[in-house]
Amino acid sequence: MRYGYRGLIAATAVAALTATACTSQGQAENKPDKPPLFKPGSDVSYAKYGEDYPQTTVKDVPGPCSYESISRRDYSGQSLKIISHAVPVIGEPTYLHAKQFEEITGANVEVVNVPFGELHQKILTPLQAGQRAYDVMFYPSLWIGDLAPYLEPVPQEYLDTPGMKDVTRAYMDVATWDGKVVQYPVDGDRHYLKVRSDVFEDPKQRAAYEQATGEELRVPRTWEEYQRVAGFFSGKDADGDGEPNFGSAEVTKRDDLTFSAFISRAAPYVKHPDVKGGVFFDLETMKPLINTPGFVRALEDMVKAKSTWAPGGANFGLGDEIFSFGGGQALMSYSWDDAFIQAQQADNEIRNKVEAAPLPGSDEVYNRTTRKWDTMPNQAPYFTWGWTSAVAKAAPNKQMAFDYLCFFSNEANTALDLTIGRFGVNPYRESHFDAAFWEKQGWDKEVAASYVRTLADMEKSDNRLFDLRVPGVSGYMSALASGVAAAIAGQKDPQQALDDVAREWARITDQIGEEKVRAAYRNVVSLEDRDHS
């Protein structure tokens, strides 16, 4: 896979210096609209921005966020400051659409790209100090508990756009805090299972698996089955390319989203369909539940899975997982869309040899009310954090800021962004669940059907798990990642590791304030306990 974004990083730096040196940070200036640069329904392509962008052409969909409409705006002489994640994931589309926005509106746009580990502090610290550091911010949506007081609610005129009305209910919920939409949806993230369908459907592999295990080779329905399938294939050349395959690729690196991988594994053990009130804390006492039996069993499973990982798999970051599965090394993985979209790139040898499926479930689920295990098939779709965006209350020209986000997420740009695996833009609108769209990108009918069915069914589930969205969430998740990493490394047994996490969570809660955390966590619980059918 070629990455053509080194030049983009340099260009970003130059743009930032130019914008800082040459533009005014003065008051907002409302100018009359100018003649549009595009005709309604014009062809849109990224081809002119470099050979690493697809040559695909789509139509500009008429509407208030279209190229035609936004090109009517005259923002000449005005500046927009944006902070986003490092290139490429979400950072690259942020810069690309900023460049386009400059070209068609005359605005001066400065984009600052920041590594994940620094992004929270770079955004929150200036806001808490009352400083106008950035007008537009891109960040993980689970930070809403920290950032909500500083965000400008999305104006009704943008909520009424066709693109916004097409956003799924789940992701409008994610954008909402205390009844107000304060985040602008640009991405929809879920964890789900990806498998190599060519291997699973190979008669020789099916016969060998049945002979070895006495069971049919199929897409795993439980984590126990996932482990069995992964263990069978690890170290074997299952796809005939002359290189060994491995059963599973997982995000295991302590500071690279391990907490999300662990929650995926824990979901069916801890999210009981008949027990309401959340899984991370007891809402009445705010006692952490992270060290209860369901979470402990999930960590035990994750530790056992080490034997199925590729060399170095105990320190895989998200990029490693993407290219291990997307590059054909691992036969299964679970996390965000990126690994699946990577496998489906036009030049990939395993294109159309993959299948999407729900996260594995379990045959038992822990009932925290009775403190017993209930024997029952259980699945719990995990809506893990996705990238989102917002406008700061302190932004001097909020219309320009919202116009940028409106343009970023318009139908034409999103149609192209969804097909570029490294961009990190995943389905979040109802129209994205149309298999025909993906078939137009060259996906086989069966692959497209498995993909949209898996994502759409998650929206309908009544047993869903959302991320912990409370003040101090970075501290909670960092502590969880440390505990998981310690267990994987063999430094602590799973129970001990999660007992230590629970103690740290209790300390963080005391530091932030029990009532403050409880009030925020109720928002999460209300999403999970709502009837979504």
Average pLDDT of the residues in 471-500: 96
- Does an H or E element contain 259, and which? helix 258-270
Span of 27-31, 249-253, 391-395 with lowest mean pLDDT: 27-31
Rounded distance, CA 231 to CA 248, Å?
9
Supply the pLDDT for residue 255: 77
Task: Give yes or no for residue 14 having a pLDDT over 60.
Answer: no
Q: How many C-beta atoms surround the C-beta of residue 403 within 10 A?
A: 22
Task: Give yes or no for residue 26 having a pLDDT over 60.
Answer: no
- For tokens 């002359």, the residue is 242
Task: Report the percent of the chain where pLDDT is more than 70.
Answer: 94
Q: At what angle do helices 223-233 and 203-213 cross, to 10 degrees?
A: 110
Report the 3 state secondary structure along 434-464. CHHHHHHCCCCHHHHHHHHHHHHHHHHCCCC
Are residues 277 and 283 in contact, defined by beta-carbon separation less than 8 angstroms?
A: yes
Task: Give yes or no for residue 533 having a pLDDT over 80.
Answer: no
Average pLDDT of the residues in 52-75: 95
Q: Of 43, 206, 9, 216, nearest to 114 (Cα)? A: 9
Task: Report the percent of the chain where pLDDT is more than 90.
Answer: 84
Task: Give yes or no for residue 3 having a pLDDT over 50.
Answer: no
Rounded distance, CA 275 to CA 465, Å?
13
Rounded distance, CA 227 to CA 239, Å?
19
Average pLDDT of the residues in 109-134: 94
Q: Indicate the SS3 state at residue 182.
A: coil
Q: Indicate the SS3 state at residue 176.
A: strand
pTM of the entire predicted model: 0.87
Q: Of 473, 479, 533, 465, nearest to 192 (Cα)? A: 465
Rounded distance, CA 422 to CA 44, Å?
20
Supply the pLDDT for residue 531: 64
Q: Of 528, 217, 193, nearest to 360 (Cα)? A: 193
Q: Of 328, 259, 347, nearest to 339 (Cα)? A: 328
> Could you tell me which residues come within 8 angstroms of residue 119 by beta carbon, excluding any fewer than 6 positions away?
83, 85, 139
* Average pLDDT score, the chain: 92
Express each pLDDT in 141-155 by its tens digit. Answer: 999 999 999 999 999
Span of 1-10, 234-243, 325-334, 503-512 with lowest mean pLDDT: 1-10
DSSP 341-354: HHHTSTT-TTTT-E
Task: Give yes or no for residue 178 having a pLDDT over 80.
Answer: yes
Supply the pLDDT for residue 30: 77
**Cβ burial, residue 40 (10 Å; 0-12/13-18/19+):** middle
Burial 244-276 (b: 16+ CB within 10 A, else e): ebbbbbbbbbbebbbbbbbbbbbbbbbbbeebe
Burial 111-123 (b: 16+ CB within 10 A, else e): bbbbebeebbebb
Confidence band, pLDDT 50/70/90 cuts, at residue 401: very high
* Parallel/antiparallel/unpaired status of strands 108-114 and 79-85: parallel
Supply the pLDDT for residue 431: 94
Supply the pLDDT for residue 340: 95
Are residues 297 and 269 in contact, defined by beta-carbon separation less than 8 angstroms?
A: yes
Supply the pLDDT for residue 318: 85
Supply the pLDDT for residue 28: 64
Task: Give yes or no for residue 17 having a pLDDT over 80.
Answer: no
Average pLDDT of the residues in 385-413: 97
Supply the pLDDT for residue 25: 42
Which residues on neighbouring strands pair with residue 177, listed in sequence order? 180
Q: Indicate the SS3 state at residue 135.
A: coil
Supply the pLDDT for residue 256: 79
Average pLDDT of the residues in 346-371: 97
Rounded distance, CA 285 to CA 288, Å?
9
Supply the pLDDT for residue 432: 94
Average pLDDT of the residues in 475-504: 97
DSSP 301-321: HHHHGGGGSPTTGGG--HHHH
Average pLDDT of the residues in 411-436: 93
Q: Indicate the SS3 state at residue 46.
A: coil
Confidence band, pLDDT 50/70/90 cuts, at residue 221: very high
